[in-house]
Amino acid sequence: MKILDILKKDSMIPDLKAQDKIDVLNELSERVSQVYGIEQKELVKVLIEREELGSTGIGGGIGIPHGKLKDIEELALGFGISQEGIDFDSMDGRPTHIFFLLVTPETGKSRDDHLKLLANICRLLRSEVFKEKLISASDPDEIYNVIKEEDKEF
């Protein structure tokens, strides 16, 4: 599954204003909620509950907050960049700069799609060059083009 099959330009934030983990979750979920028609309060609640189980800051400057909602039918994806970096309780203890927020329906075939999309995101983010290009992107069009260059069916 290609990232750009799900990620919409309107759900990209090239300059997150957030200063901490909760701010990131709120800022990204606000945008995702607007674009995909999801209830923001419920989304934030699910994301915080997931973070309490263990941080989705996977290290290397990457955070992939995610959660499942029962009232949606399709995957939803948001993206944000923090130039300064945010303490996201990452495994490596370093600041997080790149965020993909993934929301999955609780039921249906989207479970497989969720795993394929997550695998593709992780595959791309292994490349330091790709991460540098994302961080350098200044607007959603640039972010879209950076992802499009590398986005392959997975």
What ranges do the domains of the chain cover? 3-150
Q: pLDDT tens track of the chain, all 154 residues?
A: 899 999 999 999 999 999 999 999 999 999 999 999 999 999 999 999 999 999 999 999 999 999 999 889 899 999 999 999 999 999 999 999 999 999 999 877 666 788 889 999 999 999 999 999 999 999 999 999 999 999 875 4
pTM (2 d.p.): 0.94
Q: Which residues are catalytic?
A: 66
- pLDDT for 111 equals 66
Selection from 138, 61, 72, 140 nearest residue 102 by Cα = 72
Cα–Cα distance measured from residue 97 to residue 112, given in angstroms and rounded to the nearest whole number? 27
Q: Which amino acid is at 62?
A: I
**What are the two backbone dihedrals, phi and then psi, of residue 90, each rounded to the nearest 5 degrees?**
-65, 155
CATH code for the part of the protein at 3-150: 3.40.930.10
Each residue of 3-28: b (16+ CB within 10 Å) or e?
A: beebbbeebbbbebebeebeebbbbb
